[in-house]
Amino acid sequence: MDLKKLASRLIPDEDLPSLADCERAYPPRDLPEGAEVTRLAPSPTGFIHLGNLYSALADERAAHTTGGVFYLRIEDTDEKRKVEGAVESVIRSLDYFGLRFDEGAEIDGENAYGPYYQRRRAQIYRAFAKDLLERGLAYPCFCTEDELNETRRVQTENKEITGYYGKYAKCRGLSEEQIYKNLDAGMPFVIRLKSQGDVSVKHSFRDAIKGSITVTENDQDVVILKSDGIPTYHFAHAIDDHFMRTTLVIRGEEWLSSLPIHIELFKVLGFPLPRYGHTCSLMKVDGGTKRKLSKRKDPELSLDFYRAAGYYPAAVIKYLMTILNSNFEEWSAKNPEKDYTQFPFSGTTMCKSVALCDLDKLNDVSRDELAKLSPEETYVFLRTWADEFGTDADKKHFADKDYMISVLALVTGAGQKKRRKDIVRAEQGVRLVDYFFDDTFAPEYDFRSEKQAVRAMLTGFAAIYDANDGNAEWFEKLKLAAGKAGFATDNASYKASPESFSGSVSDAAEAVRIAVTGSPNSPDLCTIMRILGAERSLARMARAAESLQ
């Protein structure tokens, strides 16, 4: 068969680059020894989720801990499944979580290895497909969708591996005459790899994350160019990873089953194989068993969930690092002041089998991370959330910056011996300070002491309260009012005969706390009253006392 002639008939383009042109246009990168070139290569067919962020973090760390390059390539070969806005969502999400690309789609500056949208690289893929045709390593296939479905049905019925291989590869052995007859008849065709592999041969393969695994040779004649002349993911990624000079491909373990195909494609294309590392799937415990996180059942798989709930981005990353690397948590505990970027990242310590997600764990990490922020930083974080997701009232509260910062200084315990860790995420943090504002102060009083005594305590204390008092004077006055209202003024006398009193001095303080904040738990009450101001504090005590009439 005249393969050159056939290749030109199937791919008639005259302006294709030569293979040597491509090698020259995308030369090996000039990077230090050991530097990794990694990529995030999303298909814009849906929105990026926690699993993608997890792999992206591994890619980013692998590149940036070795002085390498982390780039973004958009695998947009599937036009039918394209989702508007998906590329922007990837870029915005990674930016939100602080992961930075060095080059790639939509990144300004020197983009020497681009274009980074696969649709814009069609000529390169066609040049290589043509070369495979000329070398007899690819062939046209005219099978229709119906024929392929029928083959699959037979294979499934016979409990055989499905696909286009061996005796099922009907077009693999077409005669030259038949091929031209089909072409002359205008029959649509795809180009398939003419696999040289043998499934009875197994090789051991070193996965950069999972370690030694066994890989069976590929014998599937996979499609490399679809009928519209656009490549499949398998073919395009091999060519791109070669010419973008990727050294390490980190991707989800759902791609492990395609690895044999990829190994063969690199081989027939004459490219050295990059290293591959397959990350494990994100799982969660559900009703005593572990299962994969699912789009349908688990809102926490979506990255928007974390933004909307106001998780602190650095906390989500730190939490992912904990799942990703078995030794990160210990390192982090030993180096509390260090940033995750200082962690000596290595693929070999990455999780190999089950990456277990747990929101309680994330909440703990988040609480700790937020407790490191200054009141000003906390303000910026909460305000950013409120601007996008908050109510009108929230936005109004944040407009009074000085007042809010004094509230946050108290609520976070910044500058005090022991930091409070009450804020877990922005949404909850914003709700936590609602009681400092009259428009959102909606107490449901639940006084535990006897009504009359509480009323007497509130009116008595209101009468002598002075916002200029320091903590000690404030407490003296509180005790004075407590005594007059029938509460014990010291613990010893209360303990000696509790029945003689309406309650202890802490019960009296609790009554004031509930009146002023709506809750029996709060930071330092004297400071709260000072921040609220005398007028507002007294009005709240009066309102509570009235409710007890």
The residues binding ligand GLU (CB under 6 A) are: 41-43, 75, 233, 237, 249, 251, 255
* CA gap 90, 106 in Å, rounded: 11
Phi, psi (rounded to 5 degrees) for 542: -65, -40
CA-based nearest residue to 218, from 237, 231, 205: 205
Q: What is the smallest separation between the CB atom of 37 and ligand GLU, expressed in angstroms?
A: 14
Q: How far is it, in rounded angstroms, from Cα 174 to Cα 418?
A: 79
Q: Which is nearer to ligand GLU, 48 or 411 (CB)?
A: 48
- Smallest distance, ligand GLU to C-beta of residue 23, A: 22
Helical residues (DSSP H) of 413-517, grouped into ranges: 426-432, 451-464, 471-484, 491-496, 505-517
Complex with ligand GLU: residue 26 or 233, whichever CB lies closer: 233
- Rank residues 75 and 427 by Cβ distance to ligand GLU and give the closer one: 75
The minimum distance between CB 42 and ligand GLU, in angstroms, equals 5
Q: How far is the CB of 253 from ligand GLU (least distance, A)?
A: 11
Q: How far is the CB of 66 from ligand GLU (least distance, A)?
A: 19
User: In angstroms, what is the minimal distance from the CB of 210 to ligand GLU?
Assistant: 16
How far, in Å, CA of 49 to CA of 320, rounded?
13
CB 170 within 8 A of CB 192: no
Residue for token pair 């000696």: 496
CB nearer to ligand GLU: give 126 or 237: 237
- Give the shortest CB-43-to-ligand GLU separation in angstroms: 4
The CB-of-252 to ligand GLU minimum distance in angstroms stands at 7
Per the rule left: phi > 0, alpha: psi between -120 and 50, beta: everything else, 211 is: left
- Taking the least distance from each CB to ligand GLU, the nearer of 36 and 75 is 75
Task: Give 43 or 547: the residue with its C-beta nearer to ligand GLU.
Answer: 43
Nearer to ligand GLU among residue 242 and residue 479 (C-beta): 242
| DSSP string covering 412-434 | HTTTSSS-----SSHHHHHHHTG
Q: Which is nearer to ligand GLU, 121 or 251 (CB)?
A: 251
CB nearer ligand GLU, residue 86 or residue 370: 86
Q: Which amino acid is at 9?
A: R
Minimal distance, residue 242 CB to ligand GLU, in Å: 13
Measure Cα distances from 381 to 1, 96, 124, 384, 403 in Å. 68, 12, 46, 5, 16
- Of 393, 399, 385, nearest in space to 434 by CA: 393
- For tokens 């494990």, name the residue: 280
| Closest distance to ligand GLU from the beta carbon of 39 (Å) | 7
Please state the closest distance from residue 206 (CB atom) to ligand GLU, in A.
18
Cβ closest to ligand GLU, residue 251 vs residue 479? 251
Q: What are phi and psi of 49, to 5 degrees?
A: -125, 180
Contact (Cβ atoms closer than 8 angstroms) between residue 205 and residue 51: no
Nearest residue to ligand GLU, by Cβ distance, number only: 251
CA 144 to chain centre: 40
Q: How far is CA 348 from CA 67, 93, 215, 351, in A?
A: 18, 27, 19, 8
CA-CA distances (angstroms) from residue 37 to 89, 102, 542? 23, 10, 67
Task: Specify the residue, 259 or 526, whose C-beta has the smaller distance to ligand GLU.
Answer: 259
Burial 305-326 (b: 16+ CB within 10 A, else e): ebbbbbbbbbbbbbbbbbbbbe
Q: Give the three-state DSSP class for 140.
A: strand
Exposure of 333 in the CB half-sphere (CA atoms within 13 A): 5
Cβ atoms of residues 252 and 55 within 8 Å: yes
Estimate to the nearest angstrom the gap between the alpha carbon of 192 and the chain centroid. Answer: 36
Name which of 252 and 486 has its Cβ closer to ligand GLU. Answer: 252
**What is the smallest separation between the CB atom of 113 and ligand GLU, expressed in angstroms?**
16
Instruction: State which residue, 295 or 431, has the beta carbon closest to ligand GLU.
Output: 295
Least separation, in Å, of the C-beta of 80 and ligand GLU?
15
486 torsion bin: left (phi>0), alpha (psi -120 to 50), beta (else)? left
Residue among 273 and 405 whose Cβ is closer to ligand GLU: 273
**Smallest distance, ligand GLU to C-beta of residue 415, A:** 46
CA angle 76, 11, 259 (to 5 degrees): 50
Q: What is the b/e burial string over 448-477, where b = at least 16 CB atoms within 10 angstroms of the residue's CB?
A: ebeeebbbbbbbbbbeebeeebeeeebeeb
For residue 9, give the nearest of 134, 116, 171 by alpha carbon: 134
